[in-house]
Chain A
Amino acid sequence: MSDGVGEQTTPTAGTRGDGQGTGDRRAILEMRDVSTHYGLISVLRHVNVEIFPGEIACLLGGNASGKTTTLKTILGYVKPSEGEVLLEDEVVSGMDTTEVVRRGISMVPENRRLFSNMTVKENLELGAYQRRDRKAIAKDMEEILETFPRLRERLSQKAGTLSGGEQQMVAMGRALMAKPKVLLMDEPSMGLAPVLVDQVFKIIKDINELGTTIFVVEQNANMALSIADRGYVLQTGQVVLADTAQSLLNNPQMREAYLGEL
């Protein structure tokens, strides 16, 4: 991977570029100058990310660039050593994960991580663990089953026996059951056949169109940018590019380093 990208672009906050008119909107989720460490090892360095209501934002980067740590920091698994995470202008960094989840962030974890010995239904119900409004939960379950009709047939089946694509649907359904304000997705394409990747990304787009804000972390930059409104590029813990998806797709350095073109 080329290091050139990092050197040639100034990693500043709000390098939002043109289009979309995002400047006058208030971010729903914001990482403000966040740095994190695992012990002495520095992982994220002064990361600034803003996610606006109703959009799909993506975070691109290679292995070990800090993508998963970014999500873990938002969810409160990892506490930032500097900077803060804000949800709807309230600081949530430093809170317990359960509290962050309660306030409206939920995640589709890398590799799906279903409760593989529970049924699909039990998995979905656990997604709504924080909620007490039974009627609304039942209604959301119905909606989710309409989005993923395949899951209706599999409701009483053990989640671990599903195919990779179906498991990804359960994982997304489970996260949606929390009725999140922001949905985080960690590498939804991982371990799926190309045809399933297309399907999954189409579903992500559909979910977004139904009104959920989505922040997706991906290695598959082409795929992610094809559905995203904006993208951030992370390299060794720093945001080296931040722009609209369209500009990123056209950015020559981007094409060389991440989109597999020469």
Chain B
Amino acid sequence: MTMARSELRRRAVRAGLLAAVAIVYLCLVGMVQAFSTRNIVGGNLPLSRILLLLPSAVAASLAVRPRVRGGVTMELNMGEAAGAGASIGLIAGAAVAVGIGIVNLIGQEAVRGVFNAVTSALMLTLTLQRSTVVGTAILVALSTATGALFALAGVLAPRLRRPIVTGLTVVLLMGMLQSVVRVMLVQLGLATQWLYSVTFGGLTYLGAVASFAAGMAAARLWALRREAAAADAAERAEAGGRPRIPRAMLLVPVGFVLLALPALLGTFLSAVLGQVGIFVLMGLGLNIVVGYAGLLDLGYVAFFAVGAYATGVLTAAVNSGSSLHPGLPFLLAVPIVVLIAVAAGLLIGGPVLRLRGDYLAIVTLGFGEIARVLVTSDWLKSFLGGAQGLIAIPAPTMSVGGLHIDFRNPQPFYYLALGFCLLAAFVSWRLANSRVGRAWNAMREDEQVAEAMGVSTVRYKLLAFACGAAIGSLGGALFAVQIGSLAPSSFVFFISIQSLAIIILGGMGSIPGVIVGALVLVGLPGFLTEFAEYQPLIYGAVLVAIMLYRPEGLIPNVRRTRELHEEEVEQDAWLEGVPEPAPSMTLGEAVE
């Protein structure tokens, strides 16, 4: 069934206006200009141009997706989709053109008084380094064409669309991560000139084609493998056997890569990976509290602070700024740090046992702030150093056969972080599949009924806080030794948000999801320094996009997917005025 003309027009205009707002915003905050120096492919496709066209592309491909109305799927044909996409691109491009016109009319200096990102460099970027009229016309044409192309891609059958999208994503990633990939290739003794342009830094045209083809091939192979796996699973279900190749076999190459990474990446990139490791730990810990037990904790930075300060005080030398300096070696201090964190977890968990949902979030938010205030306070100054913080926290060292290893150096630090992460991931994985994990699941779904099954919610909530605190404190401990000094200003609310964003992006309750989330949200800004300034903006955009289009996260936990999509179906049913399929309880009704 096709859609009514008027509805299609309305949808296209709305998507176009949204794309227009997004582009103008990205220009005004300076993001476009900041990305203008990183060439993705050749000399004519810097990241800034991609960013200029991205809103049109995304809006067009989303706007033409099939919709379900009253039990009927409405799809667009190719012509309609291309038309809608072109108008979306045109509206967005026109908005930029109008913006350029306004700036030229009032004068750049006057505009810059309010929007200081409006520089002549930005104007040149927007007009593609040409004269204002010609450049603007080309931009509008490009935007229109992009909208039309991506709208067409949006109505392609998934079988065709997925390889194309994957191919484009691979090209973009290879271009963006040019420094990382090139360093790795050089370390491996491979030639890079064919892939990366010496002049421009980005991919060569050959490299771009090769990356695109590789992406397409990977997508196709993946699809074939999934079909085979599905057939295999059906076969096995009949035979009742185990999978032919145990999945553990896959871990061997992954482990090898993980161990080789620091050698391939060099010092700077290893340091970024170490930072990622710290946030993998934070994500894994918070994942237990939020993902497994369903307790929304917005003050998770408290456990990070506990871990960092406990490590600092326990290992620091005499001149650290704390009157306590037992000077323990790092590995001896870690178990004590974990115990202290568990105690802190129980301390915070105790008062909030009766709270749920929003109330719990607000109270934990308060605890996070209390942690920051305590480490800053004069009251604890003699132990924690007050506003000056702690200094002279020694790096853990190790001597192996005359070789002295200092774990503050990025490469050894990476291995330390990797070890902690593996330990935490293993513990999380075992917990999820244990009796405890099942109790958490039941508690998250329906606290009262879980109790009627004999699940002690008091005990399991406290256990969740304790486990989450223990793992998070490991992240804090690493942070302390990585920097060697601690300042209260490091323990801000944003750390809690970062941890939460990681598990939302990756998928609640999913361990691989945490790793991917940390790589994207912490690793990417580390690898691409121009992203760092816009980190909160990107976090916000990512969270909104994930919540709207993929609430289960990038690598979802199976059960969570069911939960979220069931709500969606109920919501849609309600919106369409269709009675619910079967009476079922939601969490809100659990309290009478």
Identify the closest chain B residue to A132 (Cβ). Answer: B435
In the bound complex, what is the Cα–Cα distance between A191 and B583 (angstroms)?
8
Nearest chain A CB to B449's CB is how many angstroms away?
5
In the bound complex, what is the Cα–Cα distance between A97 and B459 (angstroms)?
13
In the bound complex, what is the Cα–Cα distance between A181 and B329 (angstroms)?
56
Q: Is A212 an interface residue (CB 8 A)?
A: no
Identify the closest chain B residue to A184 (Cβ). Answer: B452
Q: Is B106 an interface residue (CB 8 A)?
A: no
Q: Is A115 an interface residue (CB 8 A)?
A: yes
B 449-478 contacts with A by CB, 8 A: 449-456, 458
Contact A127:B453 (CB < 8 A) given known A115-B441, A115-B445, A117-B559: yes
Q: Is B566 an interface residue (CB 8 A)?
A: yes
In the bound complex, what is the Cα–Cα distance between A77 and B451 (angstroms)?
9
* Contact digits for A20-60, partner B, Cβ 8 Å, 1 yes 0 no: 00000000000000000000000000000000000000000
B584 touches A160 (CB 8 A): yes
Nearest chain A CB to B386's CB is how many angstroms away?
43
Identify the closest chain B residue to A160 (Cβ). Answer: B584
Contacts of A161 in B (CB 8 A): 582
Q: Is B442 an interface residue (CB 8 A)?
A: yes
Q: Is B563 an interface residue (CB 8 A)?
A: yes
Contacts of B458 in A (CB 8 A): 96
Which residue from A162, A164, A167, A174 sits with its C-beta under 8 Å from B453? A174
A98 touches B455 (CB 8 A): yes
Identify the closest chain B residue to A68 (Cβ). Answer: B592
A 146-164 contacts with B by CB, 8 A: 158, 160-164
B449 touches A113 (CB 8 A): yes
In the bound complex, what is the Cα–Cα distance between A159 and B458 (angstroms)?
26
Contacts of B453 in A (CB 8 A): 101, 106, 126-127, 129-130, 174, 178
A 165-182 contacts with B by CB, 8 A: 167, 174, 178
In the bound complex, what is the Cα–Cα distance between A174 and B562 (angstroms)?
21
Q: Is A75 an interface residue (CB 8 A)?
A: yes
In the bound complex, what is the Cα–Cα distance between A126 and B585 (angstroms)?
18
A109 touches B445 (CB 8 A): no
Which residue from B435, B451, B563, B582 sits with its C-beta under 8 Å from A117? B563
Which residue from B439, B566, B592 sits with its C-beta under 8 Å from A116? B566
Contacts of B592 in A (CB 8 A): 68
Contact A115:B449 (CB < 8 A) given known A122-B438, A126-B438: yes
* Contact digits for A102-129, partner B, Cβ 8 Å, 1 yes 0 no: 1000110101111111100010011101
Nearest chain B CB to A144's CB is how many angstroms away?
15
Identify the closest chain A residue to B456 (Cβ). Answer: A98
In the bound complex, what is the Cα–Cα distance between A160 and B438 (angstroms)?
17
Contacts of B446 in A (CB 8 A): 113, 115
B563 touches A164 (CB 8 A): no
Identify the closest chain B residue to A192 (Cβ). Answer: B583
Identify the closest chain B residue to A125 (Cβ). Answer: B438
Contacts of B456 in A (CB 8 A): 96, 98
Nearest chain B CB to A249's CB is how many angstroms away?
30
Contact A167:B585 (CB < 8 A) given known A160-B566, A178-B453: no
Contact A130:B566 (CB < 8 A) given known A115-B446, A191-B583: no
Contacts of A122 in B (CB 8 A): 438
In the bound complex, what is the Cα–Cα distance between A209 and B453 (angstroms)?
23
B 316-366 contacts with A by CB, 8 A: none
Q: Is B108 an interface residue (CB 8 A)?
A: no
A163 touches B582 (CB 8 A): yes
A97 touches B445 (CB 8 A): no
- Known contacts A106-B452, A113-B449, A160-B582, then 17 further A-B pairs from the complex at CB < 8 Å, ordered by chain A residue: A96-B456, A97-B451, A98-B454, A101-B452, A101-B453, A107-B452, A109-B452, A114-B584, A115-B441, A115-B442, A116-B566, A116-B584, A117-B445, A126-B455, A130-B453, A158-B562, A178-B454
**A-B pairs with lowest CB-CB distance, top 3:** A130-B454, A101-B454, A117-B562
Q: Can you pick out 11 interface pairs between chain A and chain B where the beta carbons lie within 8 Å of each other?
A: A96-B456, A106-B453, A115-B442, A115-B445, A115-B449, A116-B585, A117-B566, A125-B438, A126-B453, A161-B582, A178-B453
